[in-house]
Amino acid sequence: MAATPASRVRLLHPCPWLRNFCRTTRQLSTLAAASSPIDNSEESTTTVTSTNKNRNTASYYPKRGQTLELVCESLAFKGKGVCKVADTGFVLMCDRALPGEKFIGRVTRKKDNYAEVKKLKTIAPHWDYVEAPCEFASHCGGCKTQDLLYDAQVRAKEQQVHELIVHVGKFSDNDPEYGGIMKPIVPCDIQFHYRNKMEFSFGTKRWVPAELLQQECDETNGHALGLHAPGFFDKVLNVDKCLLQGDPANKVLAVIQDIWRDPELGLSPYDVHSHRGFLKHLMLRSGRNIETGQPELMVNFVTSAYMPELLKPLVDKVAAFPEVVSIMNNVNTSVGNTSVGEQEYTLFGKSTITESLRGLKFQISANSFFQTNTHQAEVLYTLIEESAFLKGDGSEIVLDLFCGTGTIGLSLAKR
């Protein structure tokens, strides 16, 4: 664990539920994994402190820059690992720390009732280890727990929901009504290639993790097309494929990656600092033809200006894929880096793709909201219908508030 108090001081948490939240018991089991090297680019201000040593000298409140030996006990919201100071319950949150993992971390930020820690080196691996199938999983912000067994991910998420219901919703475990409120999580049958929408960003300089900086020094000055580094709006991790989207979308991404940097095309990535450049985002949306069941793909280029002649080489290459039925151009002239443009143009095919959900056919445009996991949305909407206890005689009115395209209300309308 971490540093222990020098004296018997009681910490009064301004948010008592946070302290209770961090008392979550360990739920997972064994594991084997490799350690990650210490990032030598930062120097610690203290030596490593553990709970079983230096009890009379260790600081009760870990200071910024202090290096500690910690054990992750559970996962909090957004996948951050929860660690605690022994005997005190003081909370330390660490990104990419997983339950059961013993590691050395450095305090980077100190708050009133918790501190944030950066993991420097893994001493003992976490429980329920699996090898992450994606080569970018260790650095991308999209799949922080990909090397954690999916069943363990589900248990961690269920525990987070449980804590919210008990400590925020004020339900008691002993309340007879609680059993009717907290239902087991329904896992998804598909762990990869399930997302029907992915958004990639163009960047003027690709971001490379510190531990890979030496071996990839020749590529660090190249332009990037990929996903943002965790916590940064201006750093893009170059991605050749993403396991969250389907194979047709990955094929299109690969083709665009191959050609968009060609100097002869005159394409420039948008610089979020100087506000210059042309290409901002690449959005890929997947659907299916209702009659044939074949996949349909929409490719949406988000640019800072409307210059279709610059996009034509990319459009010609992408349009050759039979799955591509729509190529759009959203123009966002503002300095904001959003993917929604003030104007929208159809460069190839139609302006929408289709998808079926619970027997209903939906026309999906570039900027419309739709459940990103179509397969699990079917399961979710079925559970909603079962929980609504509708009479089914058409005598009731369903209010579908903040409904987007109204998929839930429409699926219930037949009852």
As annotated, the binding site for S-adenosyl-L-methionine includes 371, 402
C-beta separation of 109 from 115 below 8 A: yes
Helix axes 247-259, 308-318, angle to 10 degrees: 130
What string of DSSP letters covers 259-290?
HTT-GGGT--BPBTTTTB-SEEEEEEEEEE-T
C-beta separation of 327 from 348 below 8 A: yes
Residue with tokens 């290639």: 193
C-beta separation of 105 from 120 below 8 A: yes
What string of DSSP letters covers 285-306?
EEEE-TTT--EEEEEEEEESS-
Q: What is the dihedral of CA 358, 363, 366, 371, to 10 degrees?
A: -10
Which residues sit opposite 106 in a β-bridge? Answer: 67, 118
CA distance 40 to 176: 54
Binding residues, by number, are: 371, 402
